[in-house]
Amino acid sequence: MTELSLQVTYRRGKAFAAYLHLSHQTGEKTAKTVSAEGFLVVDYAQDGKPIGVEITAPDAVPVDRLNRLLADLGQAPMNERDYPPVRVG
């Protein structure tokens, strides 16, 4: 089982992109990708379950916008203290 985790990619000391891995079965692959509201892209497994959220412009996505998307996906909200690494830079 893959647990919720946030992976941030930095370029020149600034957050360039981020990927929020949602809880899902280990080995599940992305079958469909759908653009969501402002700089967010959702990956879905073959069964239609969301497995991850790409944050293409971390500086432009506040945690409340991310949490609205997570609520729409039936996921728990992201804790604000777990999101600041995206804002470093």
Neighbouring C-beta atoms of residue 64, cutoff 10 Å:
10
Task: Please give the pLDDT value at position 64.
Answer: 93
C-alpha to C-alpha distance for 71 and 68, rounded to whole angstroms? 5
Q: Which residue has the higher pLDDT, 81 or 21?
A: 21
C-alpha to C-alpha distance for 77 and 89, rounded to whole angstroms? 24
Q: Per-residue pLDDT averaged across 12-26, rounded?
A: 90
Domain spans of the chain, in order of start: 5-75
Q: Per-residue pLDDT averaged across 27-34, rounded?
A: 94
Q: Per-residue pLDDT averaged across 72-86, rounded?
A: 87
Contact 47, 15 (CB under 8 A): no
**pLDDT tens, position by position, 59-69:** 899 999 999 99
